[in-house]
Amino acid sequence: SLGLSKAQALGRFIGRILWMGDSETTRVTKENISHCYPELSESDQRELTRRSLLETGMLFAEFGVMWEWPTEKTLNLIRSVEGKEHLDAIFEKGKGAIVLAPHHGNWELVGLYLSTLRPMAALYKPPKIKALEEYMSSVRGRHGSELVPTNRRGVIRLFSILSDQGMVGILPDQVPGGTGGVNAPFMGIEANTVKLVSRLIGRTGCEVVSLCAIRRPKGDGFDMVFKPADPEIYSDDIATSVAALNRSVEAC
């Protein structure tokens, strides 16, 4: 397989093709940036769109590295870890921990790194292609991570893990289905946001941090950055808690 710098070079090429084309990814990126950064000039929005698409292309190209390389080789791509004391403090209190892993940087590396710290479960939405689901499950679970599907049985399992001072990884910026979401501000815009994290906090007394693997320039690996969640995420009021969840994602 390609080394990281070559994979990212391929990814930037993919990103440039996206930038020049009219794909759904490009249209959604342009629209989201115009909504989230209305204060930027049109030329600055265009430049941010271009840079975002380059990062998206690099992410696509990195999946092969993250899924196929031996674990030790992949973990050697981590150059620094910032803020891990926020996670450690939760376990020192004897509480369970939710780690929010937004779709920012490389979340596959986040999952791999977390699974080497202690036993964990990761909530995931199974892909529609069965063969891809089996492959992703085997790759993501190769260090003992328990993959928990987004259904009733899976949610009950999360309650159990967190009540037993365990660790759960959740991608908090996916669109929830059915009655699983409530509208809350995200970058100044009302967005359908998952209620599950707030429910898990209320039921188990767990605490929350976020974690992103931020890409360094020139193929030089990644920086892992932990942040404590916005304190209002612990509010008993669901609207207040969910809005704080979104602010925690914004902070990443």
Q: What is the pLDDT of residue 100?
A: 97
Question: Alpha-carbon distance 95 to 84, whole Å?
Answer: 16
Higher pLDDT, 153 or 198: 198
Contact by Cβ (8 Å): 186, 193: yes
Answer yes or no: is pLDDT of 43 > 60.
Answer: yes
The verdict on pTM exceeding 0.85 is: yes
CA 69 from chain centre, in angstroms, equals: 20
Answer yes or no: is pLDDT of 141 > 60.
Answer: no
Question: Alpha-carbon distance 114 to 167, whole Å?
Answer: 9
Answer yes or no: is pLDDT of 55 > 70.
Answer: yes
DSSP 8-state secondary structure symbol assigned to residue 105? B
Mean pLDDT (the chain, rounded): 91
Q: Give residue 220's pLDDT band: very low, low, confident or very high (50, 70, 90).
A: very high
Three-class secondary structure of residue 94 per DSSP:
coil
Higher pLDDT, 151 or 117: 117
Lowest mean pLDDT among 43-47, 153-157, 247-251: 153-157
Higher pLDDT, 245 or 122: 245
Q: What is the pLDDT of residue 124?
A: 74
Q: Give residue 139's pLDDT band: very low, low, confident or very high (50, 70, 90).
A: low
Q: What is the pLDDT of residue 106?
A: 94
Q: Give residue 54's pLDDT band: very low, low, confident or very high (50, 70, 90).
A: very high
Q: Which of 225, 174, 228, 164 is nearest to 200 (CA)?
A: 164
The pLDDT of 49-58, averaged and rounded, is 96
* Angle, CA 233 vertex, CA 227 and CA 239 arms, to 5°: 140
Q: What is the pLDDT of residue 142?
A: 59
Q: What is the pLDDT of residue 52?
A: 96
Answer yes or no: is pLDDT of 245 > 90.
Answer: yes
Q: Give residue 132's pLDDT band: very low, low, confident or very high (50, 70, 90).
A: low
Question: Alpha-carbon distance 209 to 249, whole Å?
Answer: 10
Q: How many CB atoms lie within 10 A of CB 4?
A: 24
The pLDDT of 82-89, averaged and rounded, is 98
Helices (H), 69-106: 71-75, 84-92
Share of the chain above pLDDT 90, in %: 75
Q: What is the pLDDT of residue 75?
A: 93
Answer yes or no: is pLDDT of 80 > 90.
Answer: yes
